[in-house]
């Protein structure tokens, strides 16, 4: 879920100018996912096609298999692009919910059950992740530190 203002909201990464690896953002005004990737051979950025509703939760998966990138929303393909090479790794810190260049890039929304894998997941594994229930007890975040910090960073 997210605030649909006119500023790009980063879910993962910080934009193509500082990107090493992959990045996902909600594109302003269009409410679609913008996908970014950088390998030793290529850099690309493109938008998915599914329009998102800011008050709805989505399961988003970004997969790279060495020859193509795939974006999935709720276990349905949102975009695919051929893309070669290995994902570039840097010493930059992983940014989840924030950009690198200024505070206006903070994701104003909620991110839950974030996972990173060192391998490409199969279609069946993606589906299992989509339908799986979390193996922990959910807590109400209202008034807790995570909600307060998100509100502070979003201002």
In sequence order, what are the beta bridge partners of 81?
69
pTM comes to: 0.69
Residue 99 lies in a domain: yes
The 10s digit of each residue's pLDDT in 1-14 is 454 443 444 454 44
The 10s digit of each residue's pLDDT in 44-82 is 777 889 988 888 888 888 888 888 888 899 999 998 888
Write out the two tokens for 13. Answer: 């990464």
- Domain tally, the chain: 1
Residue 4 lies in a domain: no
CATH number at residue 87: 2.60.120.200
In sequence order, what are the beta bridge partners of 10?
25
Find the domain containing 128 and state its range: 9-153
CA distance linking residue 21 with residue 17, whole number of Å: 12
CA distance linking residue 12 with residue 25, whole number of Å: 7
SS3 content of the chain, % helix, strand, coil (to 5): 15, 30, 55
Residue 3 lies in a domain: no
């Amino acid at each position: 879920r997210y605030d649909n203002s006119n500023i790009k909201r980063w879910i993962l990464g910080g934009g193509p100018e500082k990107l090493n690896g992959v990045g996902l953002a909600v594109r302003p005004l269009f409410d679609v996912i913008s996908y970014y990737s950088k390998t030793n051979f290529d850099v690309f950025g493109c938008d998915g096609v599914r329009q998102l509703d800011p008050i709805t939760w989505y399961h988003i998966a970004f997969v790279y298999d060495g020859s193509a990138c795939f974006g999935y929303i709720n276990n349905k393909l949102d975009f695919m692009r051929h893309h070669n090479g290995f994902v570039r790794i840097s010493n930059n810190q992983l940014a989840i919910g924030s950009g690198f260049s200024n505070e206006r890039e903070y994701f104003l929304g909620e991110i839950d059950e974030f996972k990173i894998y060192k391998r490409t997941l199969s279609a069946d594994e993606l589906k299992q992740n989509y339908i799986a229930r979390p193996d922990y007890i959910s807590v109400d975040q209202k008034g807790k530190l995570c909600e307060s910090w998100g509100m502070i960073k979003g201002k």
